[in-house]
């Protein structure tokens, strides 16, 4: 991560807090507060790890952890029969499905979780298996061997950990794992689970549970019987000693975080240190382990956490995160912008006819719309005007798109303003387009809206003044959260892919990636804007049905939408129409069954 002082200054000038992210809805704020308290009470070590995440990610961390804890509690309720407990877990998981479709919930933990999922575009369907596994825990567990024990772990624990990884990914600070380190990661998660099992041994035994594989128990004759009778014998001590050694080995994976974003790496490395301290406490507990869950001393924890806090604060202060704007879904579409109180930025000017955006269900809303703004020249010719006039009015249509995107609550809008092929045009025309863009950056109406502006494309051949204005606006607006507007200027899709391949080749030369193991994730991480999500909807005006070298990597699974009118004639209502059309489409991503429009394609390998 290159230190970027501008980023630091920006972050200081306008602190992005969890409060400014969640907004003013009192029920939602209370829901997140409850999740925070639940996490702290249920698992103090997890709570401190979440505190090492950037402020804006913490509410999502609490919501995920609180949901997992609530399910655990439902599965554990000692006052109920196993079948009842299983039914309660099942009912909670089912209610979540309905709440996700509605975009809200009456249950506070689900309310926060649904908000987190929609805000950060997390696909919670990956948790269904984990929830079913928690439900099945109610009937007791027996593992014949380590293989069975590990598959329980990967079914029940890994999906929750993966949600946290996706969260970091969505924020633009991926916990990216090289393919050769995925095994390390799975072991690390096994180690975390084994640490938990050992810590809670006493309370589990009270409830008749011994969550270790038979294979391990049999290696220490007599240990199982002694533990079940809650008798601390040499065999039991030897078994627990061996298990803590194994857990320590599993959580110690120094290579796993190499090359990872330093903030994300700090979270994982610190969790390994805390788990080792926890295992030290298990070792030191002796017979007391059968009575209560041991905890490392305050001094030990402080020694681990103090430097981790400094490291993580520094790492995050140097990172510009992609923060989602306020959610506007079916439920909140017409509500006033709750983030407005936190910013001096004004709302977009209203449509001259007073048109308002349609209500789109949260799970039908695209996250990223990309537009090929075609037809400026023909529009001008039709009216006997110079082509430059088409581009001037076309720029006003681009403003309309931004207004419409803000009003409907779109997170990413990408506009194709000037392609690498556009240099073939007459220099008068190229200068007109580029000059219009520069003027817009200096004095246009987008400047004071809640828009994070970015540029994608090559700097060569562009006027120096334009490049400087683009970079200046990127820096000036980087902390904004409403809409990410990426304008593609001197952009070519193949050029982007070639540059990414060159960056990967450099990384391979530096030993950061192994060429034969390079996968889609590695490629995506080396793109010029690694946090740009896949395009959900690609719209082209001007009666042409081509994608013309526009975002080939991101638009592979985009829904295509072509309209006959020329670009200068469109206004925000056309964008809303495009989004409405998208919301009715059924997306498959190569699968046999239908996928809701918002769900990302299945990872990691995409069927053709
Ligand atoms: C394609 O129409 C349009 C362009 C190559 C330029 C688009 C640029 C703008 C609309 C200005 C953008 C400004 C901001 C503020 C982002 P064309 O000229 O190819 O039309 P034709 O196909 O009818 O000839």
Q: Is the CB of 422 under 6 A from ligand 1?
A: yes
Residue 433 Cβ inside 6 Å of ligand 1? The answer reads yes
Range name among 12-21, 442-451, 466-475 with the lowest pLDDT average:
12-21
CA 543 – ligand 1 centroid, Å: 14
pLDDT on residue 480: 85
* pLDDT value of position 336: 36
Candidates 381, 416, 417: which one to mutate for ligand 1, based on the most atoms within 8 Å of Cβ? Answer: 417
pLDDT (average), residues 30-42: 92
Cα dihedral across residues 388, 389, 392, 397: positive or negative: negative
Among protein residues, the one whose CA lies closest to atom 10 of ligand 1: 394
Cα(417) to ligand 1 centroid in Å equals 6
Q: Is 417 touching ligand 1 by the criterion CB < 6 Å?
A: yes
Indicate whether residue 473 lines ligand 1 (CB < 6 A).
no
The H-or-E segment that residue 561 falls in is strand 559-562
From ligand 1's centre to the CA of 415, what distance in Å?
10
**Tokens encoding 537:** 């909807």
Nearest CA to ligand 1 atom 1: 374
Measured from the CB, is residue 453 less than 6 Å from ligand 1? no
- For residue 597, pLDDT over 80 is answered with no
Q: For 287-304, what is each residue's pLDDT tens digit?
A: 999 999 999 999 999 999
Q: Is 404 in the pocket of ligand 1 (CB under 6 A)?
A: no
- Rounded mean pLDDT of 257-281? 92
Q: What was the pLDDT predicted at 270?
A: 96
Looking at per-residue confidence, does 487 or 140 come out higher? 487
Q: Is the pLDDT of residue 4 over 60?
A: no
Under 8 Å between Cβ of 222 and 215: no
pLDDT digits (tens, 9 = 90+) for 541-590: 999 999 999 999 999 999 999 999 999 999 999 999 999 999 999 877 66
> How much distance in Å is there from the Cα of 570 to the middle of ligand 1?
13
Ligand 1 pocket, residue 269 CB under 6 Å: no
pLDDT of 25 reads 76
Q: Which residue has the higher pLDDT, 34 or 125?
A: 34
- Would you say 604 and 520 are in contact if contact means Cβ atoms under 8 Å apart? yes
Average pLDDT value for residue range 450-477: 93
Whether residue 518 is predicted with pLDDT greater than 90 in this model: the reply is no
Q: What is the pLDDT of residue 9?
A: 36
Catalytic residues, by residue number, are: 374, 422
Is the Cβ atom of 264 under 6 angstroms away from ligand 1?
A: no
CATH number listed for the domain at residues 3-337 = 1.10.600.10
Protein residue with least CA distance to atom 6, ligand 1: 417
The position carrying tokens 């006819």 is: 353
What's the gap in Å between 496 CA and the centre of ligand 1? 20
Please check the confidence at residue 337 and state whether its pLDDT lies above 60: no
What average pLDDT does range 591-600 have in this prediction?
54
Query: Whose C-alpha lies nearest to ligand 1, atom 3?
Result: 374
Residue 592 has what pLDDT?
63
Vertex 515 angle, CA 511 and 521, to 5°? 95
Residue nearest to atom 12 of ligand 1 (CA): 395
How does pLDDT run across 206-254, given as a tens digit for each residue? 989 999 999 999 999 999 999 999 999 999 999 999 999 999 999 998 8
pLDDT tens-place string over residues 141-154: 999 999 999 999 98
- Hey, where are the domains in the chain? 3-337, 365-491+533-584
Higher local confidence (pLDDT), 584 or 598 = 584
**349 pLDDT higher than 50:** yes
Per-residue model confidence (pLDDT) at position 593: 58
Calculate mean pLDDT across residues 307-311: 94
pLDDT for res 5: 33
Whether pLDDT at 190 is above 90? yes
Q: Is the pTM of this model over 0.75?
A: no
- For 148, residues 6+ apart whose C-beta sits below 8 A from its C-beta are 213
Which ligand 1 atom lies nearest to the CA of residue 379? 23
User: Architecture of domain 365-491+533-584 in CATH?
Assistant: 3-Layer(aba) Sandwich (3.40)
pLDDT value of residue 221 = 96
Mean pLDDT of 61-65: 96
Minimum-distance ligand 1 atom for the alpha carbon of 381: 23
Q: Residue by residue, what is the 3-state secondary structure of 452-521?
A: EEEEECCCCCCCHHHHHHHHHHHHHHCCCCCEEEEEEEEECHHHHHHHHHHHHHHHHHCCCCCHHHCCHH
Write down the pLDDT at residue 14: 41
- For the stretch 352-366, pLDDT in tens is 999 999 999 888 899
């Amino acid at each position: 991560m290159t230190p970027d002082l501008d980023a630091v200054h920006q972050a200081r000038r306008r602190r992005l807090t969890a409060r400014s992210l969640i907004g003013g809805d009192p029920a939602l704020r209370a829901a997140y507060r409850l999740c925070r308290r639940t996490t702290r009470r249920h698992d103090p070590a997890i709570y401190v790890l979440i505190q090492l995440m950037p402020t804006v990610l913490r509410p999502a961390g609490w919501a995920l952890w609180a949901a997992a804890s609530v399910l655990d509690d439902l599965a554990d309720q000692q006052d109920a029969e196993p079948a009842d407990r299983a039914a309660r877990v099942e009912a909670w998981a089912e209610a979540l499905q309905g709440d996700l479709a509605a975009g809200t919930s009456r249950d506070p933990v689900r309310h926060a979780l649904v908000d987190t999922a929609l805000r950060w575009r997390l696909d919670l369907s990956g948790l269904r298996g984990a929830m079913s596994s928690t439900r099945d825990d109610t009937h007791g567990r027996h593992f014949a061997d380590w293989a069975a024990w590990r598959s329980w772990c990967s079914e029940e624990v890994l999906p929750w950990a993966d949600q946290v990884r996706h969260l970091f990914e969505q924020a633009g600070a991926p916990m990216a794992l090289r393919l050769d380190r995925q095994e390390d990661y799975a072991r690390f998660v096994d180690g975390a689970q084994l640490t938990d099992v050992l810590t809670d041994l006493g309370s589990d035994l009270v409830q008749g549970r011994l969550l270790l594989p038979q294979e391990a128990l049999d290696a220490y004759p007599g240990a199982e019987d002694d533990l079940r009778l809650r008798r601390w014998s040499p065999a039991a001590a030897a078994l627990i000693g061996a298990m803590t050694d194994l857990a320590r080995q599993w959580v110690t994976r120094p290579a796993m975080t190499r090359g990872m974003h330093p903030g994300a790496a700090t979270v994982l490395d610190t969790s390994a240190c805390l788990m080792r301290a926890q295992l030290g406490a298990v070792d030191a507990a002796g017979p007391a382990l059968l009575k209560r869950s041991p905890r490392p001393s305050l001094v030990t924890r402080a020694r681990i956490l103090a430097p981790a806090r400094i490291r993580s604060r520094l790492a995050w202060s140097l990172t510009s995160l992609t923060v989602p704007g306020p959610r506007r879904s079916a439920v909140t579409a017409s509500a006033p912008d709750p983030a407005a109180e936190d910013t001096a930025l004004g709302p977009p000017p209203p449509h001259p006819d007073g048109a308002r955006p349609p209500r789109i269900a949260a799970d039908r809303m695209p996250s990223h719309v990309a537009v090929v703004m075609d037809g400026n020249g023909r529009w001008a010719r039709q009216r006997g005007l110079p082509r430059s006039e088409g581009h001037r009015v076309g720029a006003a249509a681009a403003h309309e798109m931004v207004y419409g995107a803000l009003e409907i609550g779109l997170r990413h809008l990408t506009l194709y303003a000037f392609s690498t092929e556009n240099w073939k045009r007459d220099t008068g025309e190229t200068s007109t387009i580029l000059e219009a863009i520069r003027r817009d950056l200096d004095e246009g109406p987008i400047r004071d809206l809640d828009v994070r502006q970015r540029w994608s494309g090559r700097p060569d051949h562009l006027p120096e003044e334009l490049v400087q204005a683009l970079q200046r606006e990127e820096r000036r607006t980087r902390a904004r959260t409403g809409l990410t507007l990426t304008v593609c200027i001197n952009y070519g899709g193949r050029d982007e892919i070639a540059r990414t391949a060159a960056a990967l080749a450099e990384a391979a030369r530096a030993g950061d990636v192994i060429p034969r193991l390079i996968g889609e994730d590695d490629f995506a991480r080396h793109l010029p804007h690694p946090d740009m999500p896949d395009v959900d909807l690609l719209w082209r005006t001007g009666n042409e049905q081509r994608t013309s070298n526009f975002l080939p990597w991101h638009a592979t699974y985009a829904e295509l939408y072509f309209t006959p009118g020329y670009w200068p004639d469109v206004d925000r209502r056309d964008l809303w129409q495009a989004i409405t059309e998208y919301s009715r489409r059924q997306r498959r991503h190569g699968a046999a069954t239908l996928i809701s429009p918002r769900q990302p394609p299945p990872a990691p390998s995409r069927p053709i």
